[in-house]
A and B are shown apart, each in its own frame.
Chain A
């Protein structure tokens, strides 16, 4: 039924779908759709194309775009965090620290990555916390339990990840880190940590996304959140540039290290670096585009419509 409803609603113009799709599909899913209904929907769609009648499309579309932009920047930031953790893990070894101390450019590039990451974290926090707070307040006023539960997901999964890490390092395999890097135990446990981290990150971002969407947070707070989102996107750009410059400079200043096997799980350094830069580049591009689109849409108040 869902497939048929989804196909039918696609007959309508985009503006109409932005306004009515969810409720229209929900209605179609409630009962059997007869051939007569299909014909009726086709006629309704033709009517919507010929005589656009959507009313709140301007405001709703604007809110929808702003919400989408803020949440997209948050997701992109999660992608950058994942890559950033990889970068931090790789560069914690003495060889990299030494090069950063000896080479001013490598050191500055590394510092830029750190500063950009801190600013991005602060901006995402400043942007997301008020939005989550408004969603929570709105949900509590409406007596809804789903939104508070969804907003608890970052705490639950964050605690779960930390708990798993503690148990792994203190109980299951205390000698992790002192075994051969390519040993199956080390690789397996490391990958399990990566998997747990990704799960926590995805579940946290997914929980916040679902909560904000379900609570139908209004335009005012989203308009505010666009500015921290833009700052986060700019800071992510700094992180990307810093990471790129760091690798290029490392290649020039310490070619043996760059070509060596100092990457994650003793993979080639340049491969790990390239993978990190690739993930950061995609995340940053997504954040910048979403941020620009959000800022552009914040002042769109009305879209012409005629009966």
Chain B
């Protein structure tokens, strides 16, 4: 399944979960550390809900009220596809800059 209207928060959530299952607060800290942007709680859960709706992430059993999520196979494949697209875009942009 494609990512549809793939927004940064959703991409960040998938990237965070690619490093292992995490609950909401751990995702916020991980995204801030790896992407340099700290998503707000509303933004994060908006992204989680959409990704879950599309079957790209799935919830696990809650642990003391905190529910971890993990990437699904479809989510991993969609993330890889999107990162390849971004990689191609970055290479193309860098190539043009190099020849400019």
Chain A residues packing against B (C-beta within 8 Å): 16, 19-20, 22-28, 30-31, 33, 36-37, 39-45, 47-48, 53-56, 142, 216, 305, 307
Contacting chain A: which of B13-21, B42-50, B77-85, B90-98?
B42-50
Q: A53-B46, A55-B53 are in contact. Are A36 and B40 (CB under 8 A)?
A: yes
List the 9 closest A-B pairs by CB distance, nearest first. A44-B42, A40-B40, A27-B24, A26-B65, A23-B67, A41-B42, A55-B53, A30-B25, A40-B42
CB <8 Å contact, A43 and B42:
yes
B60-95, CB < 8 A from A:
61-62, 64-67
Q: Does B4 contact A (CB under 8 A)?
A: yes
Assembled-state Cα–Cα distance A19/B50 (Å): 13
For the complex with contacts A16-B49, A27-B24, 5 further pairs of A-B residues with Cβ separation under 8 Å are A20-B49, A24-B45, A27-B66, A53-B46, A55-B49
CB <8 Å contact, B54 and A307:
yes
B25 neighbours in A (Cβ, 8 Å) = 27, 30-31
CB <8 Å contact, A54 and B41:
no
B52 neighbours in A (Cβ, 8 Å) = 55-56
Instruction: Determine how close the nearest CB of chain A comes to the CB of B46; give it in whole angstroms.
Output: 5
Assembled-state Cα–Cα distance A307/B46 (Å): 11
B62 neighbours in A (Cβ, 8 Å) = 22-23, 216
Instruction: Determine how close the nearest CB of chain A comes to the CB of B74; give it in whole angstroms.
Output: 13
Interface size class of chain B, counting residues whose CB lies under 8 Å from the partner chain: 20 to 34
Assembled-state Cα–Cα distance A142/B64 (Å): 13
Assembled-state Cα–Cα distance A22/B42 (Å): 14
Which among A23, A45, A53 is the interface contact of B42 at CB below 8 angstroms? A45
Identify which of A20, A43, A56 gathers the most chain B CB atoms within 10 Å of its CB.
A20
| Chain A residue nearest in CB terms to B4 | A307
Assembled-state Cα–Cα distance A31/B38 (Å): 13
CB <8 Å contact, B41 and A40:
yes
Q: A27-B66, A55-B52, A307-B53 are in contact. Are A20 and B40 (CB under 8 A)?
A: no
Instruction: Determine how close the nearest CB of chain B comes to the CB of A47; give it in whole angstroms.
Output: 5
B41 neighbours in A (Cβ, 8 Å) = 24, 27-28, 33, 37, 40-41, 44
| Chain B residue nearest in CB terms to A306 | B53
A142 neighbours in B (Cβ, 8 Å) = 61
Instruction: Determine how close the nearest CB of chain A comes to the CB of B72; give it in whole angstroms.
Output: 12
Assembled-state Cα–Cα distance A22/B52 (Å): 17
CB <8 Å contact, B24 and A23:
yes
CB <8 Å contact, A44 and B40:
yes
CB <8 Å contact, A53 and B24:
no
CB <8 Å contact, B50 and A307:
yes
A39 neighbours in B (Cβ, 8 Å) = 40
